[in-house]
């Protein structure tokens, strides 16, 4: 059985169940205890588990991550909440030079089983220092696992997998998905890290979406049905590692690909996807791979400008029409 739940509630359930299952799991972050988290994901957990396991930290991201790394090395399983992925840049040195490298540098004798939950993305008028998608900054680092679930079911299942992993996991949550509702299975389950999900089967073009763009890709694909364009949609889910098999199998059938991310496309996740598809599927492609990303600007505060800076389903449809050779339809 499955019950419809909000994305944020699914995350809370994962944290609650893992903390109840394993005493070594604890939470640390800014305003996650008494306030319940900036996005209410940790609401009520302080009352249930107490201040030793739900730690309200000072505004010092480098210290928060450093504390979590030390705790993980000594046998605990910390789950860090960054108030926004933008703030994780303050702790980037700790993440890249310590969390990602310690297991390698110690020959496997030490490990860092920690999760860093990071809300990101735009659309809420939070301006340039609170609104970006930095998947690529963590996806390029060996030693990290980087995931971005798009459904409530995956949010819960992948967070459970992340907490149980013996590797540091960067857990990216689009702020625009927190109020999305969807079915969440009953009971204890996990969703594997490193596996993409085929959200829709199609024969004319493959659309690969990263984070919230996978949701918009599915929306665009359904609308393109009215234009007799049959699009397959793949939700990447894991940014490191990338699950190439379903992408390659799809592109070999459709012979066309569009790849979409919310972040800047230059040097971005779509650059890696486009290069990887070209290397693996060159002989099967009937058109150039097209990629779509956000506007190459710091995110504006102005609502009209912010909307212009974020890819939309209409933008995805426009690229799909181009790659399948169809003319633009009237708006």
Catalytic choice (18, 130, 153, 261):
130
Catalytic choice (61, 135, 262, 272):
61
Q: CA torsion, points 221, 224, 229, 232, in degrees to nearest 10? A: 0
Q: Which residues contact 97 (CB under 8 A, 6 or more apart)?
A: none
Which two three-digit tokens encode residue 232?
């397959």
Radius of gyration, alpha carbons of the chain: 20
> Is 132 assigned a catalytic role?
no
- Return the residue matching tokens 């210290």: 63
> Is 61 assigned a catalytic role?
yes
Q: Which residues contact 72 (CB under 8 A, 6 or more apart)?
A: 78, 99, 111, 112, 113, 114, 168
Question: Cβ distance 165 to 192 under 8 Å?
Answer: no
Burial of 192 (0-12, 13-18, 19+ CB in 10 A): exposed
CB-hemisphere CA count at 13 Å for 257? 29
SS3 201: coil
Which two three-digit tokens encode residue 284?
């099967």
Catalytic residues: 61, 130
């Amino acid at each position: 059985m499955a019950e419809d739940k909000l994305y944020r509630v699914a995350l809370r359930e994962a944290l609650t169940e893992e903390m109840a299952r394993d005493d070594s799991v604890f939470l640390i972050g800014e305003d996650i205890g008494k306030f319940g988290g900036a996005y209410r994901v940790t609401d009520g957990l302080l009352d249930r588990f107490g201040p030793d396991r739900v730690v309200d930290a000072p505004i010092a991201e480098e210290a928060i991550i450093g504390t979590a790394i030390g705790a993980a090395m000594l046998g605990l399983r910390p789950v860090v909440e960054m108030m926004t992925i933008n703030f994780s840049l303050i702790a980037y040195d700790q993440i890249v030079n310590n969390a990602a490298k310690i297991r390698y540098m110690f020959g496997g004798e030490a490990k860092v089983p920690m999760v860093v939950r990071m809300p990101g993305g735009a659309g809420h008028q939070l301006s340039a220092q609170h609104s970006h998608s930095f998947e690529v900054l963590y996806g390029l680092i060996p030693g990290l696992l980087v995931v971005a679930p798009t459904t409530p079911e995956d949010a819960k299942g992948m967070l459970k997998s992340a907490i149980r992993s013996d590797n540091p996991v960067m857990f990216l949550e689009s702020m625009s998905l927190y109020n999305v509702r969807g079915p969440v299975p009953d009971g204890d389950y996990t969703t594997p890290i490193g596996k993409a999900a085929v959200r829709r089967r199609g024969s004319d073009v493959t659309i690969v979406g990263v984070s919230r763009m996978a949701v918009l890709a599915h929306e665009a694909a359904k609308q393109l049905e009215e234009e007799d364009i049959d699009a397959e949609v793949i939700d990447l889910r894991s940014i490191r590692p990338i699950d190439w098999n379903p992408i390659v199998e799809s592109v070999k059938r459709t012979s066309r690909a569009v790849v979409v991310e919310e972040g800047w496309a230059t040097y971005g996740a779509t650059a890696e996807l486009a290069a990887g598809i070209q290397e693996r599927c060159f002989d099967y492609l009937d058109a150039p791979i097209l990629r779509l990303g956000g506007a190459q600007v710091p995110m504006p505060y102005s609502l009209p400008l912010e909307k212009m800076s974020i890819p939309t389903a209409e933008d995805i449809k426009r690229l799909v029409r181009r790659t399948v050779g169809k003319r633009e339809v009237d708006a």
